[in-house]
Chains A and B, each alone.
Chain A
């Protein structure tokens, strides 16, 4: 392709300028109309910070150890359920503008397509926290912002509800466990008490006491036996000596006065070892002893004479009776002690069996007690966890930025659409001209004729312009301009007087959006 060719092609384009202009203008006009007819779509977005627990897990565990992002996914699924979306649409009157209320299915689909969740990458640092942006598109900026804020509130409420709900569930569970274990414990303790009451005699804790008791009883028994033997021999001695002498071996000493005299004499000896002969104590003692000896002397001189024989006989009888009574008492006591020892033996023998039963009961109680203690501790943890959740200190969502009504619509990008329309129109025009030239088999320049004929044409006569035509560039340009302007004007007129064009454009846009 040389300079002549370039000039040739550019001259063709120049010749076809009306086409180019008209088609480009049409494209531009359509694009501009479309750009202005398309409804403005505003996009509002809010940012939610999803962060790791604020209270470290080592110090106090939250009862809801779910990853925050995972939780967000769950909540996202939850709030985009059909019922929620319908409720939201009703609440905010999102579809108030449409003439007839769309079907529920359409509303749900539309809402879902308009809500976007995006996780904003925080880079490598975002190990514990991430930012999620929630956006909604609407024909009005305020509506978009309101819907987004509503969604944010919903998410926060849901999250709170979910976490506190879980925490409360946990606490409730432990409460129930504690209650159950407590009642079990009470029951076991009642059983133990009942058993102990029923087996008081054989309880292991009184075993030592009982053994001591047994031993002392046996000692007592031995003592009694010894006393019995003593008494028996004494009775024999008494009987023998009475039979031989008719006198009692130790008659003098038997009267209380004589005994008292002996005691006083003994006390006098003890006192003399300490005190002098003239001390008032010794003097008093000697006085009492002499008065007592006087009394005794008079009683002996009076009593010994009238009843010596009967008096002796009755003293023997008295002594014998006393010994016999004593022996009888000892026998009785021995029988009682033997009986008691037998009872103690039975009780001691029964103690291991009751100990086994008691041990098993105690073990049971200890187990329950341990469980109970554990449950109490867990319940305390759960209580703390719930408080953490209630205070929203666990891994949490916080609103970084609430949605504000956007100032400029997100789409359509009017300038871009217009530019694309113009470019598209130009491209179409060039393609049209190219097609026109391609289909056109006519001779354009001498070169073509020369190629076919094999030699140059005789002559090439340039197009002869008449005087009218010389003036005509202005006219022609005017005509071109008018015709070029006519197309947009026509389109605008169609748009103004035949409004469905806008609906058609909207439909077309929806189609495109649906396809895209």
Chain B
């Protein structure tokens, strides 16, 4: 396992070298891809209703927490030269999508950092609903390589691309483990050249989607919801994630009890 992981690291490292060599010529290509993405129109009221706090500058204790996550995430990624992050949780409703969106918007505030967020919770896609995106191509067809990046991704500002989805996929695990998907994602990564790719994953204990997709990510972030997730659940998921990939850490969401009150 260690060996395979190490070899994969090597592989990725070599790919990165390769990428860096063709960086000069591809940079313009990726910029062109980014520019071609249709812009994301967000409704600030809708965002506020869906608890997206990082788009505004309104002082919110959660905003600071998301910024902390962003910073720690970037530091971790930079340290290990990682790009892809799976955001998952033990059970549904822990706020994965919310955390993913908030972190994504927080990352977007980091101007030199390009971020891609893809909704891979194929059974119950939430991202589009949260953002209030009405018409969007199904992600399934993109993952099958049937549609282009520009058909599914929307651009927020200059450095955040969001791949939302509105149509549930029945055989999501199979799709996620298919070679085509892996290839499509690899292709997307090459063409868009993001610094961070966030995968909004389904809950771990609900189905095997996460297990199926874990080999394709560099690291994982576990979202636990206070007063919802039990210690046992978190323990199981943590062990699972530690075995299969690198666990960036656990985020405790929805915490109503804040022992430390830092005031600015």
* Closest chain A CB from B52 CB (angstroms): 9
Residues of chain A contacted by B253 (CB below 8 angstroms):
461
Residue B65 at the chain A interface, CB threshold 8 Å: yes
| Contact B226 A444, beta carbon cutoff 8 Å | yes
| Contact B255 A463, beta carbon cutoff 8 Å | yes
Residue A464 at the chain B interface, CB threshold 8 Å: yes
CB-based nearest A residue for B68: A459
| Contact A458 B61, beta carbon cutoff 8 Å | no
| Contact A442 B51, beta carbon cutoff 8 Å | no
| Contact B234 A449, beta carbon cutoff 8 Å | yes
CB-based nearest B residue for A448: B231
| Contact A461 B65, beta carbon cutoff 8 Å | yes
Q: Which of B60, B251, B257, B258 contacts A457 (CB 8 A)?
A: B251
Which of A3-11, A152-160, A278-286, A474-482 forms part of the interface with chain B?
A: A3-11
Residues of chain A contacted by B66 (CB below 8 angstroms):
459, 461
| Contact A11 B257, beta carbon cutoff 8 Å | yes
| Contact A460 B252, beta carbon cutoff 8 Å | yes
Within 8 A of A (CB), among B221-262: 221, 224, 226-232, 234-235, 238, 248-259
Q: Which of B224, B238, B259 contacts A8 (CB 8 A)?
A: B259
| Contact B227 A443, beta carbon cutoff 8 Å | yes
Residues of chain A contacted by B259 (CB below 8 angstroms):
4, 7-8, 445-447
Q: Which of B51, B235, B255 contacts A445 (CB 8 A)?
A: B255
Residues of chain A contacted by B49 (CB below 8 angstroms):
466-468
In this complex, the member of B51, B99, B250, B253 whose beta carbon has the largest number of chain A beta carbons within 10 angstroms is B250
Supposing A460-B258, A461-B255 touch, asked if A443 and B65 sit within 8 A by C-beta, the answer is no
Residue B72 at the chain A interface, CB threshold 8 Å: yes
Per-residue CB contact flags for chain B residues 159-182 toward chain A (1 = under 8 Å, else 0) read 000000000000000000000000
Bound CA–CA A467/B60 (angstroms): 12
Bound CA–CA A464/B252 (angstroms): 13
Residue A516 at the chain B interface, CB threshold 8 Å: no
Residue B62 at the chain A interface, CB threshold 8 Å: yes
If over half of B's interface residues share one DSSP class (helix, strand or loop), that class is named, otherwise mixed; here it is mixed
| Contact A467 B224, beta carbon cutoff 8 Å | no
| Contact B226 A453, beta carbon cutoff 8 Å | no
| Contact B48 A444, beta carbon cutoff 8 Å | no
Bound CA–CA A4/B50 (angstroms): 30
| Contact A445 B257, beta carbon cutoff 8 Å | yes
Residues of chain B contacted by A460 (CB below 8 angstroms):
65, 251-252, 255, 258
Residue B69 at the chain A interface, CB threshold 8 Å: yes
Within 8 A of A (CB), among B138-165: none
Residues of chain B contacted by A473 (CB below 8 angstroms):
none
Residue A123 at the chain B interface, CB threshold 8 Å: no
| Contact A458 B62, beta carbon cutoff 8 Å | no
Residue A462 at the chain B interface, CB threshold 8 Å: yes
* Closest chain B CB from A436 CB (angstroms): 11
Residues of chain B contacted by A463 (CB below 8 angstroms):
226, 254-256
In this complex, the member of B65, B95, B98, B221 whose beta carbon has the largest number of chain A beta carbons within 10 angstroms is B65
Residues of chain B contacted by A461 (CB below 8 angstroms):
62, 65-66, 69, 95, 99, 251-255
| Interface residues of A, Cβ cutoff 8 Å to B | 4, 7-8, 11, 15, 440-449, 452-453, 457-464, 466-468
| Interface residues of B, Cβ cutoff 8 Å to A | 48-51, 53, 60-62, 65-66, 68-69, 72, 95, 98-99, 221, 224, 226-232, 234-235, 238, 248-259
